[in-house]
């Protein structure tokens, strides 16, 4: 299964482009969060990594906002 992870670091950025890219990549599940570089806690990334099983593929996107 393809699993996606999307993150933005500021409130003026949106996840829309990343969501679209992960949808085009046919990710069945997508984890999203907004976290600054100063914020070391990434609960959605942690949950995403814990959900991975053998044979899964993790997809990520770089924000271009």
Residues noted as catalytic:
9
Residues shown for the chain: 65
Structure tokens at 29: 């599940």
**Residues 8, 65: contact at Cβ < 8 Å?**
yes
For 53, half-sphere exposure in the C-beta direction (CA atoms, 13 angstrom radius) is 3
């Amino acid at each position: 299964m393809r699993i996606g992870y999307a993150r933005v670091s500021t409130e003026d950025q949106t996840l829309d482009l990343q969501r679209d890219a992960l949808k085009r990549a046919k990710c069945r599940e997508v984890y999203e969060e907004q976290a600054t570089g100063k914020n070391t806690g990434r609960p959605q990334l942690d949950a995403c990594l814990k959900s991975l099983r053998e044979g899964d593929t993790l997809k990520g996107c770089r924000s271009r906002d």
